[in-house]
Amino acid sequence: MMLLQAPASGSNWMQLVLMGGIFVVMYFFMIRPQQKKAKDQQKFITDMKEGDAVVTIGGLHGKIVETTEKTVTLDVGRGMRLVFDKTAISRDSSIRLGQ
């Protein structure tokens, strides 16, 4: 003989609250930090100036000797100058990774 049980009245409500809580936690721990990092990177790119020591996304270290709207020219040593898109500049060379 099977007994039918009535569904718990608050279970649907609790599932919605739990899913909403999980979304809020994911937003603040995953999505928001990525947005902040992208904003900081964009600010860094727009604030670059001649004389800054930088590292490219490929790991090349150099000093900015010229900037245009879309490119930077790096002096990488012994008078060798290379032209890169501004988006290829990863970070200031004085900043250590992981900080």
pLDDT digits (tens, 9 = 90+) for 19-45: 999 999 999 999 999 999 999 999 999
Confidence of residue 13 (pLDDT cuts 50, 70, 90): confident
> Domain extents for the chain?
11-47, 49-99
Instruction: Supply the CATH classification number for the domain 49-99.
Output: 2.30.30
- Give the Cβ contact number of residue 88 at 10 Å: 16
pLDDT at 9 over 70: no
This prediction has a pTM of 0.67
Give the 3-state secondary structure of residue 76. strand
